[in-house]
Structure 1
């Protein structure tokens, strides 16, 4: 990698850390995308979503939509939260290469990863998802579509929930052209079927929602935080990626996502363990100290809920 490329990536990382805020207006008003795609390393691009909840202003683009130009076609990671977001991303891809999109990979079964599936399927592009993510999407797609229609309004037009056309369990070889691409399910983490896209030759991971920075990780009912920590320590860390594109927030490095994901989970579980040892109950668990993380976007929306979910999990461990 040249010095110019390294300086470019450094600028992305520092700018992202400094500017992450829920109050920043749409950064790419001429497109339904929240951000114009940036080239993270050569031939790997990402359109970085807002680090806020989905709103009309960001059109539901609050996760990262990435693509890899391989020399023999394009691999897209995440179909997007709507038909229009998928269409907008495709337009950006066409401005950068004549190579056709040959595969779309969903990072999980949530709406922001899969509600745009029907755009890509209409183009004849296969969509790959983990079997557990596909099941979650099938169960929740109706509710996700209704939420999209409520907040995105006209930007939800054209969206018709469709399941992935391909599924995998442990791993999938998506190598194409000159690029080795390993699609991995490293283990239980943030949500069912969490998927990571690993480029071993570039030491880059498109991590999905196993990894967060800039915004607080959401912990869902049913999330096993001890499992998430174990998956991180035994499966993600040994890969030791140099570059990480998290599910939300700007491209960064392993140390940064470890600090705001793994270390946050360990910290919160420690606080809840102390709370349980002191005889605390669910009502008061919401107010355990999470002050080291108040600067993260979505802290106000998620901190107390996260504490309650972890209390309910640890109460029966």
Structure 2
């Protein structure tokens, strides 16, 4: 892990499982006092990583634990809970879903049986129930085998629209929706006293940002530059990959999106069509994990967006 530094190609994560003793891909590490994260694989979900390909974080306070991300399955959520109990006697009092994707919310099925409140943005919850939950559960059952057991679709129990301020002991937790970014209801968890931002999928560094149908990349850039940057985070825990600094996630997110938009705009202005757009030069970003899976797809999505701006 590198805090306050850049992530290099040598740190690209292609190990099938770093923590064979657990269904988790890796054991939680303390990224700042009282803030822990089990860093997931930066590759697509597989049987070997059990779907733990995002970061599962938690905040230990004098009045309980707040978990950030429900996890991709019942078993992953239960495994994270087991690790939390090794670190603290404080009970988990809140689970925060950072978006509506399956690897953020499918583990709600475990946390709900523990009678723990589950908080999510209203748009993320709607996306999970209508789209991402059913497709995510189907995919989980296909790749995870026995590690999908017990997982079902469970809605968050509490919703917010713009922000929710939480005080747990002496720890102030701000749950924010800074604006349109990667997916509906993207949620950031900001700890102003320690200047730690659990950013979720608004911020990328090691892994290529995925661009979905309906993603507004121009809005994503604006949200990052006019809202996220102004927080002044010193440590950023992105949705995928090692905790790092603001400059690193800005490069992996904003610089990437701006570069791809510029290349697609130039392609359109020169008379290029969609079939050719998939091949615009993104080689400078080839160091990112999931480049092979996402680069051409992202180009097509941005073509569809820029064409009508």
Q: Would you say the 8 A contact 2:7–2:206 is kept in 1?
A: no
Give the deviation of 1:186 after TM superposition. Answer: 0.1
Give the deviation of 1:13 after TM superposition. Answer: 5.9
User: Kindly tell me: are residues 273 and 16 of structure 1, through their superposed partners in 2, closer, same or farther at Cα, counting changes over 3 Å?
Assistant: closer
Match of 1:244 in 2: 236
Give the deviation of 1:174 after TM superposition. Answer: 2.0
Q: For the residues of structure 1 that align with 2:4 and 2:144, how far apart are their CA atoms?
A: 28
Question: What CA RMSD, in Å, does the superposition of the two structures yield over aligned residues?
Answer: 1.3
State the SS of the aligned residue for 1:95.
Answer: helix
Match of 1:193 in 2: 185
Give the deviation of 1:19 after TM superposition. Answer: 2.4
TM-score by length of 2: 0.97
Match of 2:258 in 1: 266
Q: For the residues of structure 1 that align with 2:289 and 2:57, how far apart are their CA atoms?
A: 21
State the SS of the aligned residue for 2:19.
Answer: coil
Residue 70, structure 1, aligned to residue 56, structure 2: no
TM-score by length of 1: 0.95
Residue 202, structure 1, aligned to residue 194, structure 2: yes
Residue 119, structure 1, aligned to residue 110, structure 2: yes
Match of 2:284 in 1: 292
User: Kindly tell me: are residues 13 and 49 of structure 1, through their superposed partners in 2, closer, same or farther at Cα, counting changes over 3 Å?
Assistant: farther
Which 4+ runs in 1 deviate beyond 3 A?
A: 9-18
Q: For the residues of structure 2 that align with 1:15 and 1:308, how far apart are their CA atoms?
A: 27
Q: For the residues of structure 2 that align with 1:129 and 1:175, how far apart are their CA atoms?
A: 17
Q: For the residues of structure 1 that align with 2:179 and 2:279, how far apart are their CA atoms?
A: 30
The aligned runs of 1:30-69 (5 Å cut-off) are 30-69=21-60
Q: Name stretches of at least 5 consecutive residues in structure 2 with no aligned partner.
A: none
User: Kindly tell me: are residues 221 and 14 of structure 1, through their superposed partners in 2, closer, same or farther at Cα, counting changes over 3 Å?
Assistant: closer
Q: Name stretches of at least 5 consecutive residues in structure 1 with no aligned partner.
A: 1-8
Q: For the residues of structure 2 that align with 1:16 and 1:122, how far apart are their CA atoms?
A: 41
Aligned pair count reads: 308
Match of 1:253 in 2: 245
Q: Could you tell me which of 200, 205, 209 is aligned with 1:213?
A: 205
Match of 2:156 in 1: 164
State the SS of the aligned residue for 2:201.
Answer: strand
Match of 1:135 in 2: 126
